[in-house]
Amino acid sequence: MDDISRDAYAVLLPAFDKVEFTDASASFFNAGGVASLLGSTREEYVARRMSPARQRSETPQLLLDYHDRARALADDVLIAIDYELGGVHRLHKLGPQLPHPREVLEMKESEIEHFGAEAARAARSCGINFFLAPVVDLVTGSNPWLRDRTFSVDADLVSRAASAFIRGVQSQGVAATAKHFPGHPHVPADPHDSATVTVIASPDELKPTLKCFDAAIAAGVRAIMTGPIPVDAIDPTEPSSTSAKVVAMLRGAHRFRGLIVSDDLDLPGTLRGRTVPEAAVASLKAGVDLLLLAGGPQVDEVANRIIASVRAGKLERDVVARAASAVRLLAANSDRSMQAA
């Protein structure tokens, strides 16, 4: 397999709702894949908790075996989960958890940092080295998508809490991800259900959330996730995860030099009539490094579309190479920290 093909797989973050290292998993990591997300079912995601059946069946060893089998094929890997401050939390009883995001309001920064460190240690013992957390959005209007995933509309409070969590997590060698740039103060419908919803906010209304991202960047956060839908005030036509304007803003005005991760490219709010392979190519063209998508046969379809786009001159080879290098660098830093612990 040539370098273009391996790079095309390296920029993908397929999500699997079960901890099963299948033939498809082996094929992905053999082909050049570096990162995967141990996700949840739609029902678990909506409930903000893992099912009783999952809690009974999953053990630290089961999760660790997934990591070890991936690493045997791909060397350094990123095994990601959602581990939000009281929101979506994939490890259930295997790691410390806050009952609800508002619990953060009663904690000192030192306590939040300690919680982050303890969460990272628990995750690391399960072979997890990449958190898609914390959420730093400030929701001031309607937002069914972020229900029970945010804890305040006070930018100073969110900045301090998120930064403390990031410091704690990353002190243990686990990479954290601040999400969802550039903010979603008012989203009247869930992007999982609507192909037309946008972020309704003026530039001034986005400023408080952008302050939170600046704080996360100052705290050294290693990754930032872009949002799934257009933000009218910045780019009314392209979802943030496929928007060159949003990525340029993150790299430029906000001076972020870490890994940029897309939100789920499968969402109707992101696709807006496109196929997943088309959205993936658009996301790379926009400057995103790592593309989140559902696992399954479409992973090969997306990789093949990226390869074909490069060979046809529709996607610059250097764009894919730079993104793949960024993913491999974070994997090397995170996985080797975990191995050294």
- Domain assignments of the chain as residue spans, ordered by start: 3-340
Closest CA to 226 of 211, 207, 204, 243: 243
Predicted TM-score (pTM) of the model is: 0.96
Residues 6+ apart with CB under 8 A from 164: 109, 110, 112, 113, 116
Closest CA to 195 of 227, 230, 244, 226: 230
User: Residue 209: phi, psi to the nearest 5?
Assistant: -70, -40
The DSSP bridge pattern shows strands 130-131 and 78-81 to be parallel
Cis-peptide, bond into residue 182, ω within 30° of zero: yes
pLDDT string in tens for the chain (341-residue length): 689 999 999 999 999 888 989 999 999 999 999 999 998 888 888 888 888 988 888 999 999 999 999 999 999 999 999 999 988 888 988 999 998 899 999 999 999 999 999 999 999 999 999 999 999 999 999 899 999 999 999 999 999 999 999 999 999 999 999 999 999 999 999 999 999 999 989 999 999 999 999 999 999 999 999 999 999 999 999 999 999 999 999 999 999 999 999 999 999 999 999 999 999 999 999 999 999 999 999 999 999 999 999 999 999 999 999 999 999 999 999 866 666 65
| Dihedral sign (CA 189, 41, 326, 330) | positive
Closest CA to 322 of 288, 299, 280, 293: 288
C-alpha distance from residue 158 to each of 82, 208, 218, 321, 334 (Å): 18, 10, 14, 35, 25
Helical (H) or strand (E) element with 248: helix 244-251
Residues shown for the chain: 341
Q: What is the CATH superfamily name and number for domain 3-340?
A: Glycoside hydrolase, family 3, N-terminal domain (3.20.20.300)
